[in-house]
Amino acid sequence: MAPELEPRPDHASYLDSWLRVLADDKRAIFQAAAHAQRAVAYLHGLQPTVSEEREAA
């Protein structure tokens, strides 16, 4: 999966929507960061442990 390097027309509107959210709710960035952290923790939890990888090898 490679990131898209070329600007697209919807990039500006995406950023604009976030700027509006942040202007209206000063805590939105902290809530978004907390949700992102929970998503990362969940995804890390799906990864096999070192012992599980050794058993599979």
Least confident stretch, 2-6, 16-20, 31-35: 2-6
Tell me the pTM: 0.61
Least confident stretch, 16-20, 39-43, 48-52: 48-52
19-37 confidence digits (pLDDT tens) = 999 999 999 999 999 999 9
Residue 50 token pair: 């070192």
Domain boundaries, the chain: 27-57
